[in-house]
Structure 1
Amino acid sequence: MRLHRNLVFAVIDGLHLIFNENEYADKVVEKLLKRDKRWGARDRGFIAETVYEIVRWKRLYAEIAEVKEPYRRDNLWRIFAVWAVLRGIQLPDWKQLTGTPARRIKGKFDELSKTRKFRESIPDWLDDLGTQELGSELWTKEIAALNEQATVILRVNTLKTNKEKLQGILFDNDIETISIKGYPDALQLKERANVFTTQAFKDGLFEVQDASSQLVSSFLDVSPGMRVADACAGAGGKSLHLAALMENKGQVISMDIYGNKLKELKRRAKRNSAHNIETREIDSTKVIKKLHGKMDRVLIDAPCSGLGVLRRNPDAKWKLQPDFIEDIKETQKQILQDYSKMVKPGGKMVYATCSILPSENQEQVETFLKSDSGTDFKLIEDKKILAHQSGFDGFYMALLERKA
């Protein structure tokens, strides 16, 4: 591979914004890719993949480069040089890269790779937490899987097409996909591609949604004609799936405390032809109270640490803090108490997170069932999805039923 100066400069600028200005990697990459209209798909691919890879392995590379935060520009170049040497890329004769000690870099890599927190490039506190919650052996396997690049998974919008038709349409656009056993609406891309520019996406024939995430709406056991609340809907990936599973019959009430996310859901629902979705911003406790005891199904896709989705959000390793996880657990507890009241007698509820920590998952469900609000509920089934076992995101989901 030959390095091109303007592409590498874009990578360095991006790393500065992510590491020193605390900006989100996905937003930074989005901005970088618009910098030069002459860049082709391969150029943009290099920028995106290199930025994400260096973000993912930040601690390991910085340790090898012997630099500390905040990273001056020359230190970002040293980190980049480590990435290039470990990838076996011939370094060009640029002043920023002169004197790169390739042999020492490889030696330090071998030495540091013997220690998990360096090898997997994670903060000390996160390594301690993972060990404490999952045990050393399981955590070692899981964090290694969470450092692999995520595959691109589509969810076929069954309101508009089916899997076979969509595969054919994408194939005509030079995008090859494969079905995944056990995931009825999922297609996996054989190679990464920008699917958002396709006519099929603009026509609402699919959404991009990880395979584990696709299991949540199905787990809620919905059928056409029901009244369903998606209580932490966000931009509505699961609401759209629920609408499809319900064949546009009945009602999906998509709720969130952030109105701007619900606006995005409205746009997506229109593109998907999901007509049975109604959005409600939770701007006071009245919004929930109005629905007490009225919903056949309630989905609580709770805010969480997001540790199960590190493959697609590697910068979360550096942005997450231990006190945030403690605070979010209190939020989860409160949400379960408040939102469970919407379930009518005989109705069902799913509590789900994209976390792998038992303290955010089964322990929250156990606490809820022992509380006054949970005495009417029983646990029907729960699923713990780990990335090293499934090959997809880490997730948890629990199906509970309210006594009739």
Structure 2
Amino acid sequence: MKLHRNLVFAVIDALNLIFNEKEYADKVVQKVLRFDKRWGARDRGFIAETTYEMVRYKRLYAEIADVREPFSRPDLFRMWAVWAVLKGIALPDWKQIEPTPERRIKGKFDELSKIRKYREAVPDWIDELCEKSLGEKLWTAEIAKLNEPAEVILRTNTLKTTRESLRKALLDEGIVTEPIKGYPLALRLPERANVFVTESFKKGLFEVQDASSQLVAAMLDVKPGQRVVDTCAGAGGKSLHLAALMENKGQLIAMDIYGSKLKELKRRARRNGAHNIEPREIDSTKVFKKLYGSADRVLIDAPCTGLGVIRRNPDTKWKMQPEFLEKITKTQREILGSYSKILKPGGKMVYATCSIIPQENNDQVKSFLSSEEGTDFALISEKKIYASKSGFDGFYMALLEKKLV
């Protein structure tokens, strides 16, 4: 493999912004890829994939390179040299690359590979927390899977097309996809491609959404004509799915505390042809209190640690601090207590997270059911989805029903 200096330097620039400036990896990669318009698909792929892999295995590469944060530019080059040696790539004769003891690197890698927290590159506290929460066997399998790059999965927008028609349309644009058994709207890309430049995307025929995430809206069992409230809608991935399942009939209120995310939802809804979505920014408690006892269906896609989706956001491992878990579980309890009141008797509610630990999932549901707010609710079913078992993102979802008085 021939290495190009400007591509490697772009990776180093990206790592500096992510590790030292604490910027988000996905935003940094987008920014860096705009540095040179002459870069082709292969060049851009090298930058993105190398950056993400080095973010994913930061702890392992830093330990082998014997460098500590904050990383100087020479430190980042040493880490990159470790990556290259372990990939079997011949190191270039550049002044930035110090003489690198390849045998020592491989020996150190063999030694550290026996220890999970180094092999899978996770902070001590996350490794200990997840082993205690999931058990050693499941956590070992799970973190190994979560360190694999995520596949590109599409969700067919049934307001505009069918899965088979979408598959043919994408094939006409040179993009091969495969259906996924058990996921009726999903298409998998065997090879990565930029689907956002396709006419099919511009026409709103699909959204990019992991297969596990596609199960959440389906679990809510919405019907056309109902009043449905998506309480933590964000940029609206699940709201758009709900609108399609409702066939654009009825009212879908999409709430969030961030107005900027709801603006993005409006834009996506126009492209999707989803006309029954009504975004509402939660700028005071009045916004959701007005809705108490009025909805047929409520979705609480709660904020969480995101431990089930770290293959998509590998920098989460390094940004998150131990105290965040206590803070976020408190927020989840408050959200469940408040937003569950929006549901009317006989209605159904789904509580979901993209986390894999019980503290954020079934423990929260049990706590809610034993609380004053949860007295009239019953747990109908729940799903614990692990990447190591499904091959897709880690998720949790629980379907609850409010009893008829």
1:3-402 mapped onto 2 (5 Å cutoff): 3-402=3-402
Tell me if structure 1 keeps the 8 A contact 2:256–2:262: yes
Letter in 2 for 1:80: W
Deviation readout 1:285-337 (Å, 9 max, x if unpaired): 11111111000000000000000000100000000111111100000000000
Aligned length: 404
Deviation readout 1:157-187 (Å, 9 max, x if unpaired): 0101111111111111211100001101100
Q: 2:183 is paired with a residue of what secondary structure? A: coil
Tell me if structure 1 keeps the 8 A contact 2:78–2:98: no
Letter in 2 for 1:205: L
Find the aligned partners of 1:277 and 1:124 in 2 and give their Cα distance: 43
Tell me if structure 1 keeps the 8 A contact 2:231–2:339: yes
Once superposed, which parts of structure 1, at least 4 consecutive aligned residues long, lie more than 6 Å away? none
Letter in 2 for 1:223: K
Deviation at 1:371, TM superposition (A): 0.3
Find the aligned partners of 1:266 and 1:173 in 2 and give their Cα distance: 27
Unaligned runs of 5+ in 2: none
Letter in 2 for 1:83: W
Q: 1:212 is paired with a residue of what secondary structure? A: coil
Deviation at 1:92, TM superposition (A): 1.1
Find the aligned partners of 1:358 and 1:289 in 2 and give their Cα distance: 29
Deviation at 1:200, TM superposition (A): 0.8
Find the aligned partners of 2:90 and 2:160 in 1 and give their Cα distance: 49
Q: 1:184 is paired with a residue of what secondary structure? A: strand
Letter in 2 for 1:64: I
Find the aligned partners of 1:334 and 1:300 in 2 and give their Cα distance: 12
TM-score by length of 2: 0.99
Q: 2:223 is paired with a residue of what secondary structure? A: coil
Letter in 2 for 1:36: D
Which has the larger displacement, 88-97 or 219-228?
88-97
Deviation readout 1:55-98 (Å, 9 max, x if unpaired): 00000000000000000000000000000000011111111124
Deviation readout 1:106-164 (Å, 9 max, x if unpaired): 11000000000000000000111011101111111111111011000000101011111
Q: 1:185 is paired with a residue of what secondary structure? A: strand
Letter in 1 for 2:52: Y
Unaligned runs of 5+ in 1: none
Q: 1:6 is paired with a residue of what secondary structure? A: helix
Find the aligned partners of 2:98 and 2:335 in 1 and give their Cα distance: 55
Letter in 1 for 2:40: G
Q: 1:130 is paired with a residue of what secondary structure? A: helix
Find the aligned partners of 2:342 and 2:98 in 1 and give their Cα distance: 64
Find the aligned partners of 2:144 and 2:38 in 1 and give their Cα distance: 37
Find the aligned partners of 1:85 and 1:162 in 2 and give their Cα distance: 46
Find the aligned partners of 1:123 and 1:73 in 2 and give their Cα distance: 23
Q: 1:96 is paired with a residue of what secondary structure? A: coil
Find the aligned partners of 2:144 and 2:14 in 1 and give their Cα distance: 25
TM-score by length of 1: 0.99
Letter in 1 for 2:370: K
Q: 1:261 is paired with a residue of what secondary structure? A: helix
Letter in 1 for 2:88: G
Letter in 2 for 1:305: T
Q: 2:360 is paired with a residue of what secondary structure? A: coil
Find the aligned partners of 1:331 and 1:291 in 2 and give their Cα distance: 20
